[in-house]
Every structure is written in C-alpha cells, then in structure tokens.
Chains A and B, each alone.
Chain A
C-alpha cells in the first residue's frame, strides 16, 4: 500500500492554526529560558575564570553536573520528581509543565553558556593582562575595560550558536506535555495519520526560527566587529 501524500492538511483548519500556536510557544520557551540561561551562564562562566579556587570549583561542578545528564532526564526530574516534594501548592500549580520546561531548559543551557564564557575569557592573551596592569589599572579595572570587552567579542559567535540551540532543545518540552511545535506535529499525526507532512511543516518552522536568528546575529556581529581580532590566535 503506497502512502498517499496530503500536503493540504498543513493549510487546513484547525491544523494550520495549531502549527502557528506551536511555533509561538516554541519561540516563547526559547526566549524565556534564554533569559535565565544567559545571565546565569555568564555568572558561572565568570566564576570559573576567577583566581579564587572555591569559585572555580563551584562553577566547574555546576557545569559538570548539568552537561553530563541528558536534558530529557533533567526535565523529567524537575517535572515528575521535584514538585511532589514541595507540597500540593506547587504540584497542583496550573501550567506546572510550562514553568518546569523553562526553568529546566534555562539552567541546563546556562551550563553550556558558562563554557563559552570561560573559553572566551581564556582566549584573551595573557599579554593583554600584563599590558593593562603595567599602565597601573587595578585588577578590577583590567577586567572591566580590557578582559570583559575583549572576551565578550570572542564569545558572540559561540553564544549565537547556543541561542539557536536553545530553540532546538525546546522541542524536548513536548515530553512533559507541552504542545509546542514538535508536540503539535505529533498531535496532528494522531488526528490525521499524516505525520510526515506534519513533521515536515514543523521542521520548516524550526528552520524559519534558525534563519531569522542567524540573520539578526549577523547584523550584531557586523556592528561589533573588531579589526584583526579574529586573525590572532
């Protein structure tokens, strides 16, 4: 029995509307978790770059922990295992899965952001520190005016990739019951048995998000470009 393609389901109601709602939810989850991931990741990455050993250890443990457990397991843990421990006020919260997904994705991504931040600071040549200190800048001023602005520019490309990744990873939110883009495509399959068309449409949605971000970040990078910075190793 040959498969009968029916691309019209993508455009027909209610599926088209579902797909759009799913796309919006995916964007929301990605953006909201990024709001957690970016500052937290910068904080932890900075901890890992400080001279203080205890700070570095705390940062390292955080990163090791969250990077070495699959995101899926982390989401299950936040959604299924933790709320019952916090009493019924939490475990019966409406939209609990929504908070768990954003929180879980946010703190997971923070560990990845932290790694980019650390390696960004690490790639500032040691001579820059010497130069800054030799003019009499304090340790703090050296960080504030030289290491941070320099390292920040090195970090932009990997952080752009990470920003793209957070939208891709948001697909896992469907496993705890959120009907974002992936969840919707699965749902449409259950209604129509046209999973191929539905998932193709969803993939199209992810590509649109990806291309938009690449375009926007390209503009940002152009604006912040520093001549010669990328040439030096």
Chain B
C-alpha cells in the first residue's frame, strides 16, 4: 500500500524544497534575532517613548495569525515598492517581523529572571554597569534564554511551512506539487512529516539536555 518509490523518484525536487525551507529559516533567524534583541531591550526600557511603541508593536503582532501577516506583507510590499515583489522576500520579511516579537519577549524574560538582589550585590562590590552586565547579568540571563531561543527557533523552522500560502516552493509546497501530479499523499506528506519530526526532535532533545543541566546546577 505504501510505495516509497514516489519519494525516491522525486527526491531531487523534495531536496530542493527542503533547501528552500532551510534558506528561509536561516535568513529569518539572521534577521529576527537582532530585531528581537532590539525589541527586548525596548520592552525593558524605562523611557516611555521607547517602551510604549515597542510594546504596542509586540502586542499587535502577537495577536495576528502569522498566515495573515504573510498575506498582508505580500500585499503591502508592492504598494511600498511600486513593483512586483518575490514571494521569498514577502515571506522572509513576515517571519522577521513576527518571530522577532517572540525572541524579544524571551530576552525580556531572561533579563527579568536575574533577581534585583543579585544585581545590587554586583554594584555593591563596586562593579560599574558594563562590568555588572558582562560578568553577572548576561551570563545568568543567557542560561535562561538559550533553551527558549532554541525552542522558538524550532517553532520558526516549522512556521516557514506557511510560506506555502503565497506559492513559495518550500518543502511542503514541493510535496504538494508532486502530489498533484502523482496523487500519493500518504507517502509524500508522511515523508515531509517525518523529516520535520526528526529535525525538530533533535532540536527539542538539545533543549531538554540544556534544561536538565540547568536544573542540576540549581
């Protein structure tokens, strides 16, 4: 009943789709992380003119489905640029805008996980702000942040599949194109599911390792 030959025959196309998925993932991560750090710091700012706009942005984006954001960007980019826009760019811009809000909140939580007492203790020994940040704040916060960052990256990796809706030839769209031709949904989508499952499980195992290590340290 299950005929894997359809996978073998189309492996080049599927591989191409997977590469596109990875490309989307890497570019979105490379853009989303820095923007996320920016947003996270903005959310921690005591300056109201920074805090409120950034918070409004974060809350707004987090209440919109990513799929809608992709559509919206896909339609608004041509208005801004006055010409046609490649689906790839529309997708990447959407992912960056969207995932950055999640990365930002992770950074904020990491910062807030460092107790005020610890920071005051560092100051009380005569460290200045940058020394405190370099030796106390960042090392402690990072331990909290890294596992969540990897978890969010796994989510981002899965989210790239949504570029399907604007016709980008990523992994899922490739499988669906092949399926339209050969009508083998079980094998094709099963294969796609397994590939995602394997990649993301590896990621989540890494997170589990980090978290148990962190738990032991406490």
Which of A164, A167, A168, A189 interacts with B66 by CB under 8 Å?
A168
Q: What 10 A-B pairs are tightest by C-beta distance, nearest first? A: A68-B200, A80-B185, A195-B75, A171-B65, A168-B65, A70-B158, A81-B185, A210-B63, A196-B75, A70-B161
Q: How far is the CA of A67 from the CA of B64 in the complex (A)?
A: 21
Residues in A lying within 8 Å of B, measured CB to CB: 1-3, 64-65, 67-74, 76-77, 80-82, 84-85, 164, 167-172, 174-175, 182, 185-186, 189, 195-196, 199-200, 202-203, 206-207, 210-211
Contact indicator A73/B161 (Cβ below 8 Å): yes
Say which one of B8-16, B42-50, B141-149, B190-198 lies at the interface with A: B190-198
Say which one of B27-35, B76-84, B118-126 lies at the interface with A: B76-84
Residues of B within 8 A of A168 (CB): 63-66
Which single residue of chain A is at the shortest CB-CB distance from B179? A80
Residues of B within 8 A of A80 (CB): 179, 185, 189
Binary flags per residue of B151-167, CB closer than 8 Å to A gives 1, else 0: 00010001101101100
Contact indicator B67/A69 (Cβ below 8 Å): no
Which of B67, B159, B200 interacts with A182 by CB under 8 Å?
B67
Q: How far is the CA of A70 from the CA of B189 in the complex (A)?
A: 11
Contact indicator A73/B71 (Cβ below 8 Å): no
Q: How far is the CA of A81 from the CA of B162 in the complex (A)?
A: 19
Q: How far is the CB of B93 from chain A (nearest CB, A)?
A: 14
Residue pairs across A and B with CB atoms within 8 Å: the count is 112
Q: How far is the CB of A47 from chain B (nearest CB, A)?
A: 18
Contact indicator A67/B204 (Cβ below 8 Å): yes
Other than the given A64-B204, A84-B185, 7 more pairs (CB < 8 A) read A2-B82, A67-B204, A68-B201, A85-B1, A168-B65, A171-B65, A203-B69
Q: How far is the CA of A69 from the CA of B203 in the complex (A)?
A: 12
B55 touches A (CB below 8 Å): no
Q: How far is the CA of A118 from the CA of B56 in the complex (A)?
A: 31
Given A73-B172, A164-B63, residue A199 in contact with residue B196 (CB < 8 A): no
Q: How far is the CB of B80 from chain A (nearest CB, A)?
A: 9
